[in-house]
Amino acid sequence: MSEFRTCSITGLKVHLPAEKLIKINAVTAIVFLLVGGILGLLMVLTRWQAVHLLPAELFYRLLTLHGIAMLVAWIIFWEMAALYLTSAVLLNSRLAVPWVGWLQYLLMLVGGGIVTVIVLIGGADVMFTSYVPLKAHPLYYLGVILFAVGAILGCVVFFATVVVAKTEGTYTGSLPLVTYGAACAAIIAIITLSHGAIVFIPTLLWSAGLIPPMDAEVYRLIFWGFGHSSQQINVCTMVAVWYMLGSLTVGSSPLNEKVCRTAFVLYVLFICIASEHHILVDPGFSAAHKSWNTSYFMHLAVLASMIHAFSVPAATEVALRKKGYTRGTFEWLKKAPWGNPGWSSLFLSLVGFGFLGGTTGVIYGTEQLNILSHNNLRIPGHFHATVVAGTTLAFMGGTYYVLPLIFQREVAFPGLAKIQPYLFGIPIMLFSTFMMVAGGFGVARRSADMYGSGGFSVEYSPIVDISLSIMGLSGVVACLGGAAFCVIAVATLLIGKKIS
């Protein structure tokens, strides 16, 4: 029992080896967020045509690293911390096989480090997608494989811990909803990361000159089972974090847990299929294949999001109404704890993900409409709404609770923490919106020079200049908001008042 401490705030037993792993994964996640954020600022200042900071070669190199640092490293390291938190801590259990947890961390760290170095030295100017026949240095693919295997091990530790908790009777009844959501995310993660391993092992061998090149179409199909499905791990974890934040900030509990659990199962069954929208303009697959996967099956995952989109705010509304805020239709919303960064992160994340990211995801993923957005700025506009305004903001809100509960320190600079979600969330929504507007007028994505540097020139509507300027300004402010989060987190660890 000496390996446990009792949390003075929640009363939960915290297994100390689990706590160490949560801390190290969370800190590493924030380091990658910082790196990815600095690169993001450089991207903004290049795509903002009036500034156009970086030369083309450096832009593509750093865009590759920005995608990996943000879409993969920051989020999956944070998710590893969340898996250990929602299994060992929420279930009052010991963490199963902590050494495997450390192996997870080391593999992900070494893999992420190798990828970072190789990209920075110019060995992998292949963008996040690394579509064959673009070839990177073999170590790049090896780094990705090590990272993916490490993350799979983290999921194995999570499930082993759930089994240990059940066997040792540390909880009764069904899994708590947050842990259930995390379990669904872990299943999706195993599916996703297996795709990563499957696609990158032959690519590694090809890059090393051992086998012939892979078929480009097959690569794209399997790659997106990793590349997009990794964002579905985020969606599932984000929703679990929403329920957790609702509970921690206003004491909410779901109106109907069975419906919420069913929605999570819909994610497991159908959300990975959503990755097929990346091949909607590819000639190699039949129209029927594309339509079934992106216009029918995918909508069952969308249905799950619709259920959560009502369930999460409704649960918080009921909790606030039970506290007496029952006047009119929206008194509960006016009296919600807007100064609590956990609540403001939750609400802004809901709005950003639902109104901007979710709607555009469904629209752009529809076969006929996809042609309007494919390879223009509408797509990064969409996924900055889902992954940044949605997932990242929710994870920031979750961090404001991990700091006192796991690191046992009071959040530093509480005044700044109160406004940080607004400083980050509102600009990033503006950034996404105006990125989508510019994309709607034909501005290409993944392009160092929108006016063309390959012997062609393009003319745009004047709306494009205005849109890119608003996008640039709001992107810079959002970077400041992200930097504020990193400053608060680091300061909390270094100078935050210790909670006894």
Partner 1 sequence: MDLKPEEHPKGSFILVLIFFAIFMGMYLLNWKQLSEIWHVG
Question: Given the rule CB under 8 A, which residues bind partner 1?
Answer: 253, 255-256, 309-310, 313-315, 317-318, 321-322, 326, 329-330, 332-333, 354-355, 359-360, 362-363, 368-369, 371-372, 440
Question: What's the Cα-to-Cα distance from 484 to each of 29, 304, 470, 481, 495, rounded to whole Å?
Answer: 15, 33, 21, 5, 15
CA distance 4 to 6: 7
Nearer to partner 1, 163 or 371 (CB): 371
Q: Cβ 344 to partner 1, closest distance in Å?
A: 16
Within 8 A by CB and 6+ apart from 31, the residues are: none
Q: Cβ 366 to partner 1, closest distance in Å?
A: 8
Q: Cβ 141 to partner 1, closest distance in Å?
A: 37
Q: Cβ 197 to partner 1, closest distance in Å?
A: 36
Nearer to partner 1, 127 or 369 (CB): 369
CA distance 19 to 409: 14
Nearer to partner 1, 336 or 423 (CB): 336
Nearer to partner 1, 467 or 492 (CB): 467
Q: Cβ 94 to partner 1, closest distance in Å?
A: 33
Q: Cβ 312 to partner 1, closest distance in Å?
A: 9
Nearer to partner 1, 42 or 318 (CB): 318
Helix (H) or strand (E) holding 13: strand 13-15
54 — phi, psi (to 5°)?
A: -90, 145
Say if CB 402 and CB 85 are below 8 A apart: yes
Q: Cβ 149 to partner 1, closest distance in Å?
A: 39
Residue 324 gets the label, from left (phi > 0), alpha (psi -120 to 50) or beta, of: left
CA distance 344 to 397: 8
Nearer to partner 1, 2 or 329 (CB): 329
Within 8 A by CB and 6+ apart from 322, the residues are: none
CA distance 239 to 268: 13
8 — phi, psi (to 5°)?
A: -75, -15
Nearer to partner 1, 109 or 312 (CB): 312
CA distance 483 to 493: 15
